[in-house]
Amino acid sequence: MRFDIISTFPEFFAALDLSLVGKAQKAGVVDIRVHNLRDWAEGKHLAVDDTPTGGGAGMVMRPDVWGRALDTVLEEGAVLAIPTPSGKPLTQRDLEALVQVPQIVVACGRYEGIDARVAEHYGAEGIRVFEYSLGDYVLNGGEVAAVALVEGVSRLVDGMVGNPESLVEESHSVEGLLEYPVYTQPREWRGIETPAVLFSGDHARIRRWRRDRALARTADRRPDMINALVEGGKILERADVEVLTSRGVDVRTGRWDYSFSVAEESDLSEVAALAARTFPLACPPTATETEIREHIDTHLTENAFRELTRGGASITTVRSGPELVVVAYALCEPNAPDDIASLSPGACYVSKIYTDPEFHGSGVSGALMEFALADAVSRWGSTAVLLGTNQSNRRAIRFYRRHGFKKCGRRTFEVGKRIHRDFVYVRDLTVDPPR
Ligand code: 6GU
């Protein structure tokens, strides 16, 4: 791989004699030649720039000087790379394409840039011209961007990086996600523990944890990358959906549409409205309309929820859409009811988790469960959580299993004259969530 860099500051590129790129040069893996543009300047002052035609601030680099330089340096099959803040943002895909080329000539402009006819002329001559930018900010010249391109391409050249696997996993590889956070020794540093899952030796769990962290990071920092994943159909796993949902992403649209919070008094009328809406759908077909109505009017009113929160319960909600309506809520209590508390002494209790049917399968319920349990741990210091679910509700049972719950008993309870049979589930809150 051959690089030719043309600049008015050739000394700048001493940096490329260091580190891995320096080693690669010495090993003959890459050949980097730096040229001083002024060697092609003419006249008494060896000027390389002049005032902008049509007026304006600053100076523009002369095409004749650049023409003489490039005619000398460009070889068959070369790409002419021109760093400029008005170029195409440089990506890993660009670097992967550039490493296939025999020669890259980087033309570093200073001042307000290079006369536009230079790119036009060489493009018309059949040379591939690549005007690129490092991002949406302005530097004084193309030198930093030239170093970035040379280093980024060099490390993809065969025989460069010691461990080829590190090329596969890093940020901006084909996965389309930012890299997960990394840790090393010591295990605890300034009171911060390395996540326990990384010591588990369970490679499937570690992989899942890393993917979760990568997704969460990408959602928080790079909405554009999440949208590309959604459009490309690259979010396939249910666990992906839940992590993204917990960061507010509606994966069906790629929009940031969810917000999670602990309910305050002023939220309780909306919580009651959602409860009244969803409760009938969760009732067995044998329940009569009157029974259902009676239950709603006594247990699912704003007042009933207010009493529960005053009694120490915590309600967490998910809001969505332009109107920010409550689409899911969870009700947690610091202690489980007497009939099951002995199954896990000291455990807190999830008494309800309801999601608007429109949001079933959206990841909202799972994300809300984790949010509600994190709230319980910080609020009450809970080390375990209990819940009961109807024995015939297979969907709920699968959901709780996925969220790390294990069956630990049974209970019955009466609604009207009917006896309901529940399984009781427990989850240890002192270990990392299952994923
Ligand atoms: Cl490629 N050049 C200059 N001058 N400023 C930049 C840049 C390039 N990319 C970001 N800012």
CATH number at residue 377: 3.40.630.30
AA letter at 106: V
Output the CA 110–ligand 1 centroid distance in Å: 10
Q: Which of 140, 169, 198 is the last residue of a domain?
A: 169
Evaluate whether residue 59 is within a structural domain. Answer: yes
AA letter at 134: L
Task: Tell me, using a 6 A CB cutoff, whether residue 113 lines ligand 1.
Answer: no
Question: Do residues 332 and 308 lie in contact, with contact meaning Cβ atoms separated by under 8 Å?
Answer: no
Per-residue pLDDT, averaged over 232-241, amounts to 84
Q: Which of 112, 139, 169 is the last residue of a domain?
A: 169
pLDDT band, residue 161 (cuts 50/70/90)? low
Task: Tell me, using a 6 A CB cutoff, whether residue 145 lines ligand 1.
Answer: yes
Q: What is the CATH number of the domain that holds 137?
A: 3.40.1280.10
- Ligand 1 atom closest to Cα of residue 134: 9
% of residues, the chain, pLDDT over 70: 96
Task: Tell me, using a 6 A CB cutoff, whether residue 109 lines ligand 1.
Answer: no
- Ligand 1 atom closest to Cα of residue 132: 1
Provide the token pair at 362: 């959206």
**214 to each of 91, 183, 225, 252, how far by Cα in Å?**
19, 14, 12, 19
**98 to each of 7, 19, 26, 90, how far by Cα in Å?**
20, 21, 21, 11
pLDDT band, residue 165 (cuts 50/70/90)? low
Evaluate whether residue 181 is within a structural domain. Answer: no
For the stretch 258-272, pLDDT in tens is 999 999 999 999 999
Overall domain count for the chain? 3
For the stretch 350-395, pLDDT in tens is 999 999 999 998 899 999 999 999 999 999 999 999 999 989 889 9
**Domain span holding position 219:** 188-243
Determine the Cα–Cα distance for residues 30 and 233; give it in Å rounded to an integer: 38
